[in-house]
């Protein structure tokens, strides 16, 4: 189940990269760049921090073919049909939910401290979005605005860690944790939930 979800998360982030490139009026090459950047940046940063070599995507042909195929399919779709305005956020939420859980699992397997598990899970989940937004010229990226994004990943990572400690099955843990991240993001998107902005103290 975890491997299937892993591929789903990578595919979702690849599609989100193309959707972001489309929204930014980029050419097909830009679409490919953003697809790969969004899909592999988080896992790459995680593996570098954990000193895991070779990097996971450098020897996984299936993963690279999947990203390229999703990028091509998404670009072909966008040539004929328009997607609803919030499609990018929904697709991105799928990627965030799955990749955050993958990051938590990898960090636990590396036997790092609980705090490091949370940090690595969040970094794995959000880095692709940050790189994608920066390449699109969106600043500050979604992560640094008042959106419930990194906080959703943090909640999912904490749930995964807690259920792991409680001895929950992998299926239950993955379902609950990824579902929590996705639900929080969808609540933020469709219910317009935001974190409070930093306010200056009146002088």
18-53 residue pLDDT tens: 999 998 999 999 999 999 999 999 999 999 999 998
Q: Up-side HSE of residue 181: CA atoms within 13 Å toward CB?
A: 34
User: 142 by DSSP, 3-state: which?
Assistant: helix
94 or 193: which carries more pLDDT confidence?
A: 94
Q: What's the CA gap between 13 and 111, in Å, rounded?
A: 27
Per-residue pLDDT tens over the stretch 122-150: 999 999 989 998 898 877 766 666 578 89
Per-residue pLDDT tens over the stretch 144-192: 665 788 999 999 999 999 999 999 998 999 999 999 999 999 998 888 7
pTM for this predicted structure: 0.88
pLDDT at position 84 is: 79
Q: What's the CA gap between 156 and 63, in Å, rounded?
A: 24
How high does pLDDT run on average in the chain? Answer: 89
Which residues 6+ apart lie within 8 Å of 87 measured at CB? 19
Distance, CA of 100 to chain centre: 7
The Cα-based distances of 1 to 9, 90, 91, 170 in angstroms read 12, 21, 20, 9
- Taking the CB of residue 42, how many other CB atoms lie within 10 A of it? 31
Per-residue pLDDT tens over the stretch 53-62: 899 899 889 9
Q: What's the CA gap between 2 and 6, in Å, rounded?
A: 6
């Amino acid at each position: 189940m975890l491997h299937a979800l892993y591929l789903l998360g990578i595919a979702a982030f690849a599609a989100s990269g193309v959707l972001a490139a489309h929204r930014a009026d980029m050419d097909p090459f830009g679409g490919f760049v953003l697809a790969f950047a969004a899909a592999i940046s988080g896992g790459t940063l995680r593996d570098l921090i954990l000193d895991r070599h070779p990097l996971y995507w450098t020897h996984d042909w299936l993963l690279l073919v999947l990203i390229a195929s999703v990028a091509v399919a998404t670009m072909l779709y966008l040539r004929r049909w328009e997607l609803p305005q919030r499609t990018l956020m929904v697709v991105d939420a799928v990627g965030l939910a799955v990749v955050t859980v993958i990051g938590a699992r990898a960090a636990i397997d590396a036997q790092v401290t609980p705090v490091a598990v949370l940090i690595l899970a969040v970094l794995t989940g959000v880095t692709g979005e940050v790189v994608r937004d920066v390449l699109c010229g969106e600043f500050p990226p979604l992560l640094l605005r008042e959106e419930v994004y990194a906080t959703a990943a943090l909640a999912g990572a904490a749930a995964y860690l807690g259920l792991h400690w409680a001895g929950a099955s992998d299926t239950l843990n993955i379902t609950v944790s990824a579902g929590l991240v996705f639900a929080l993001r969808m609540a933020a998107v469709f219910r317009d939930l935001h974190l409070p902005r930093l306010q200056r103290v009146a002088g």
